[in-house]
Amino acid sequence: MAPDHTPAPPLVFTPRPSAPPPPSTVGVMGWLRANLFSSVPNAILTVLGAYILYVFLEAIISWALVNAVWEAPNRRACLDAVGRSGACWPGVIAWLPNLIYGLYPKDQVWRIDLGALLLVLWALPLFLPRVKSKVAIGLTAVLVYPFLVSYLFLGGEKGWLWMGLVAGSLATFFWVWLTAICEMRTGQGFIPLLVRTLAGPDPIPERARLVRQLAWAALFVTALVIVSRWQLVEVPTRLWGGLFLTMVISGIGITFSLPAGVLLALGRRSSMPLIRGFCVAFIELFRSVPLITILFMFNTMLPLFLPVGVEVDRLLRAIVAVCLFAAAYMAEIVRGGLQAIPKGQYEAAAAMGLGYWQSTTLIILPQALKIMIPAIVGNFIGLFKDTTLVSIIGLFDMLSMARAVGEDTRWLGLFIEPFFFITMIYFVFCFAMSQYSMNLERRLGGGQRR
């Protein structure tokens, strides 16, 4: 209802230009004033903080860089050169392969590198544009990749079953890249594309299925041929160590804990009292005791639990313990995610006539998992840090390796340097992950904030 009977033409409002703010509130001076010297106590705190920072940084830089020794045959030489005022890095450098690969034979180390490269390659399509099957690729990277590298890392005699698994895993890897390439070039997955070219654009279902099965069979046979020609020397797990071992344990832990945690969480929310009871008991037991007691328990009791004569690998004992522990924690995270899903979603799924498993896997879990990603990453950080505990039960993880440096006769007593080094490694990994998860949280939260 605009006033239409106005006699006078309207005046034109021209906003006056912004005046520059008072100089004391902007620019470097304004920032300093507002953030460092807003009051006398604040100024004192600033000076104190700056002093602490200076002392701390100065000490670290002069020790780690300025006064450090970079080349020396042994620790004595370092001490003669700079005493304790500078770091003795040659010890760390000499032990670097061991810190990363443990006691893995030097001529076989390429297998670990190849395994790491494979993981990178497997995950690479996730970051490529126009790749649509990202969920499937991500899932195979977590669930299928481990079989392939298990043989790569372990080597030795492979039975038929294992060979089949490894070949299947390699076939999946081929599928991942064929799919990624096809989707990037044509926008269609590898298998659908194959079906279309071989069976026509609108094939009868039987033919399409036949083509699909043949394609997988071809992939599998190719992989099997390749795998059967591999002859890798066995590297027993007692030689595994360093960062490599840390990665293996935490990797298997997270891989196992995700599905197990989902099942446990669903069980805990189930309406069936028996299933709920088992899940609650398992989760509460493993969450209320320290990881070290679980490691000890499996270390001493797993041989008792199994039939006479079955030898359990030390590493396997630790992995079982870590997996069950991580699963219990993951279950609580998943439960939190499930609780955050509004009741309407369950009702809507039920109204669509979906059964329990359908509604859970198609409607509820995808939403819950999305909310849970930051917590899952947090759990993974915890797991990554907790793997250091395996050094207590005698495995040679990065921490044990760092302590072994100082027991080497050449580097006797060298303790702070290797510790400083592995601390940096742990920090870089954990910090990167936590920043990533915080980033995700911010992005996910942004869409949901009111």
Partner 1 sequence: MSSSTSTAPPRASFLNDAGVRAFVYQAAVFLAVTGLLYYLVSNTITNMSQRNMSAGFDFLDVSAGFNIAFTLIPYREGDSYLRVFQVGIANTLLVAVIGIVFATVIGLIVGLARLSTNWLIATLARWYIEVLRNTPLLLQIIAWYFGVFNLLPRPRESMDWGGLFFLNNRGFYMPGPVPQEGFGWTLAALLVAILGAVMLVMWSNRRRRATGRIFPGGMAATALIILLPLAVFYGSGAPLTWDWPALRGFNFVGGISVPPAFCALVVALSIYTSCFIAEIVRAGIQSVAHGQTEAARALGVKPSRTMRFIILPQAMRVIIPPLISQYLNLTKNSSLAIAIGFPDLVSVWMNTSLNQSGRAIPIVAMTMAFYCVVSLAVSGLLNLYNRRMQLTER
Partner 2 sequence: MTTPAIELVGVSKWYGGFQALKEINLSIAERERVVVCGPSGSGKSTMIRCVNQLERHQRGDIRIHGRAFGGGARDDEAIRRETGMVFQSFNLFPHMTVLENCTFALTWVKQMPEAEAKRIAMSHLERVRIPEQAAKYPLQLSGGQQQRVAIARALCMQPRIMLFDEPTSALDPEMIKEVLDVMVELAGTGMTMVVVTHEMGFARQVADRVVFMDQGEVVEQAPPEEFFANPRYDRTRMFLSQIL
Quick one: what does residue 11 bind among partner 1, partner 2, none, with the CB cut-off 5 to 8 Å set by partner type?
partner 2
Quick one: what does residue 385 bind among partner 1, partner 2, none, with the CB cut-off 5 to 8 Å set by partner type?
partner 1
CB of 296 to partner 1, least distance (A): 5
CB of 160 to partner 1, least distance (A): 26
Find, among 60, 70, 58, 57, the residue nearest to 416 by Cα: 60
The residues, ordered by sequence, that sit 6+ positions from 94 with a Cβ below 8 Å of its Cβ are 410, 411
Please name the residue ranges forming H helices in 144-189: 145-154, 160-186
Of residues 301 through 340, those in contact with partner 2 by CB under 8 A are none
Placement of tokens 């004192």 in the chain? 44
- Which structure tokens are listed for 27? 């620019």
> Rule CB under 8 A: which residues touch partner 1?
34-36, 38, 42, 45-46, 49-50, 52-53, 271-275, 278, 284-285, 287-290, 292-293, 296-297, 300-301, 303-308, 355, 358, 381, 385-386, 388-389, 391-392, 399, 403, 415-416, 419, 422-423, 426-427, 430-431, 434
Whether the CB-CB separation of 203 and 256 falls below 8 Å is answered with: no
Whether the CB-CB separation of 246 and 391 falls below 8 Å is answered with: no
Quick one: what does residue 6 bind among partner 2, partner 1, none, with the CB cut-off 5 to 8 Å set by partner type?
partner 2
The Cα–Cα gap between 298 and 314 comes to 9
Quick one: what does residue 1 bind among partner 2, partner 1, none, with the CB cut-off 5 to 8 Å set by partner type?
partner 2
The Cα–Cα gap between 395 and 314 comes to 8
The letter for the amino acid at 83 is G
The Cα–Cα gap between 322 and 162 comes to 23
- Which structure tokens are listed for 244? 């490599």
Q: How far is CA 71 from CA 77, 92, 422, in A?
A: 9, 11, 20
How many residues form the binding site for partner 2 (CB under 8 A)? 18
Residue 9 or 273: the one with the smaller Cβ distance to partner 2 is 9
Q: How far is CA 141 from CA 5, 109, 149, 248, 372, in A?
A: 72, 22, 11, 14, 19
Would you give the binding string for partner 2 spanning residues 1-40, x where CB under 8 A is met? Answer: xxx--x-x-xxxx-xx-xxxxx--xx--------------
Residue 35 or 358: the one with the smaller Cβ distance to partner 2 is 35
CB of 41 to partner 2, least distance (A): 15
Whether the CB-CB separation of 321 and 252 falls below 8 Å is answered with: no
Quick one: what does residue 40 bind among partner 2, partner 1, none, with the CB cut-off 5 to 8 Å set by partner type?
none
Residue 3 or 307: the one with the smaller Cβ distance to partner 2 is 3
CB of 254 to partner 1, least distance (A): 16
Whether the CB-CB separation of 109 and 239 falls below 8 Å is answered with: no
H or E stretch at 397: strand 396-397
CB of 8 to partner 2, least distance (A): 8
Quick one: what does residue 13 bind among partner 2, partner 1, none, with the CB cut-off 5 to 8 Å set by partner type?
partner 2
The Cα–Cα gap between 425 and 402 comes to 12
Residue 31 or 230: the one with the smaller Cβ distance to partner 2 is 31
CB atoms under 10 Å from CB of 379, counted, come to 22
The Cα–Cα gap between 78 and 84 comes to 9
- Which structure tokens are listed for 360? 């859970």
Whether the CB-CB separation of 437 and 373 falls below 8 Å is answered with: yes
Quick one: what does residue 22 bind among partner 1, partner 2, none, with the CB cut-off 5 to 8 Å set by partner type?
partner 2
Residue 16 or 343: the one with the smaller Cβ distance to partner 2 is 16
Residue 114 or 289: the one with the smaller Cβ distance to partner 1 is 289
Quick one: what does residue 3 bind among partner 2, partner 1, none, with the CB cut-off 5 to 8 Å set by partner type?
partner 2
- Which structure tokens are listed for 286? 């493993």
Strand partners, 88: 69
Quick one: what does residue 2 bind among partner 2, partner 1, none, with the CB cut-off 5 to 8 Å set by partner type?
partner 2
CB of 28 to partner 2, least distance (A): 13
CB of 47 to partner 2, least distance (A): 25
The angle formed by the CA atoms of residues 127, 130 and 134, to the nearest 5 degrees, is: 55
Quick one: what does residue 358 bind among partner 2, partner 1, none, with the CB cut-off 5 to 8 Å set by partner type?
partner 1
CB of 358 to partner 1, least distance (A): 7
CB of 342 to partner 2, least distance (A): 19
Q: What is the DSSP letter of 340?
A: H
CB of 36 to partner 2, least distance (A): 17
CB of 231 to partner 1, least distance (A): 36
Quick one: what does residue 308 bind among partner 1, partner 2, none, with the CB cut-off 5 to 8 Å set by partner type?
partner 1
Residue 30 or 192: the one with the smaller Cβ distance to partner 2 is 30
Residues that bind partner 2 (CB under 8 A): 1-3, 6, 8, 10-13, 15-16, 18-22, 25-26
